[in-house]
Structure 1
Amino acid sequence: MTDETTPRVVAVNRGTEDAEGQGSGRGPQHDALEAWVGRWINEGHMIDDDGSPGVKIATSDVYEWAPGGFFLVHSAYGRIGEFDVGGTEIIGYDETSGAYRSHFFDSQGNVTVSRLVAEGDTWTYQGDTTRATVEFSDDHRVQTVLHERTDDGATYRPSMKVTLVKVG
């Protein structure tokens, strides 16, 4: 058996190199991200400490495939109460760890890294101090999301509840 290598792009930031085989391809774990793709209107509210609805949230969210079709780029613009907010998120499947990952860069200068777990139409984000449960419904045209936060790493409390409706 011969060791057949040919020049190809293994990673864009490395250029071309001699490598075996065809390289990695898209699989069902990438196809599962298709549920997110589209333009969404996001409305909801913060959740006050007593559990009652707080200030309103309204954003416009766009999820689209990055070049190559392995990662999603999510852009969000809107308001939480009187404050302009937004951010850019990159979501993808990490072949090495066998898990989905999210990197969210917000308009306040924060970076939040989360692990995502998909179980049917439910996706759960888990970060260091936040988590969110996303329930897809209506043939993936509606997302209902409960955001939670923790200050001690153990006790979570609801922080936001939003509904995203696909408009395109």
Structure 2
Amino acid sequence: MSRKATVTKPQTLQPPLTPSAELQLLNVFVGKWPTQGLSYGSGQSKENPYDSPVRWIGAETYEWLPGGFFLVRHFNGQIGDLPMSGIETIGYDAVSQTYSSQIFDNYGRIHLGQRTIRDGVWSSSIGTEYRTTYTFRNDGNNLATHWEWLDGDDWSVLTDSEGTKVN
């Protein structure tokens, strides 16, 4: 007796015609953001987390991939003598109702994270090591970013920066 093989056709993906309202909340990031600030990760002590500041200058550009379902951030900068660059992709998963991100940097690291928004303030967790707060001011044209890193059992400030949207 012979058996007939059953072939199943792959499902055709049918994305929504327009990005969700949750994705549209990310529009506040879209644009070019020259940034500057201070980094405290080198020479830092728990007694004074603002010891040994190092100047940070850079630029970030956020733009939508075609279709508007993923936001891409390109970043380039200098922390003291240390170059820093990379990309981040940010999307929204309607099933889990979470914003997720992947960061790839010039040191070969890949960081997985999540973003949340509450009362107009965005926060992100990047793995279990870093967390960030993004606060927009001046009708969304100024962005203050505060980074922290897990130092043993305590969170310590890593960087504070300011950016002004140029387009």
> What TM-score, normalized to structure 2?
0.83
Note the C-alpha offset of 1:107: 1.0
Structure 1 residue 35 displacement after superposition:
0.2
Which stretch of structure 1 is more off in the superposition, 117-126 or 43-52? 43-52
User: Whole-Å Cα distance in 1 between the matches of residues 12 and 151 of structure 2?
Assistant: 49
Q: Please list, as runs of the form range in 1=range in 2, the aligned pairs for 1:1-168 lying within 5 A after superposition.
A: 17-18=11-12, 23-24=15-16, 25-47=18-40, 48-49=44-45, 50=48, 51-52=50-51, 54-127=53-126, 128-152=128-152, 154-168=153-167
Deviations 1:43-97 (A, max 9, x none): 0011243224611100111000011101111101110101211110001111221
Q: 1:18 to 1:57 in 2, by over 3 A?
A: closer
CA–CA separation in structure 1 for the residues paired with 2:91 and 2:15: 17
Aligned residues: 150
Which residue identity does 2:73 align to in structure 1? H
Unmatched segments (≥5 aa) in structure 2: 1-9
> Does the 8 A contact of 1:30 with 1:70 survive in 2?
yes
Higher fraction of strand: 1
Write out per-residue CA displacement over residues 15-54 of structure 1, whole angstroms, 9 at most, x where no aligned residue: x8457xx643422101101000000001001124322461
Q: State the TM-score, normalized to the length of structure 1.
A: 0.83
Q: Percent identity?
A: 27
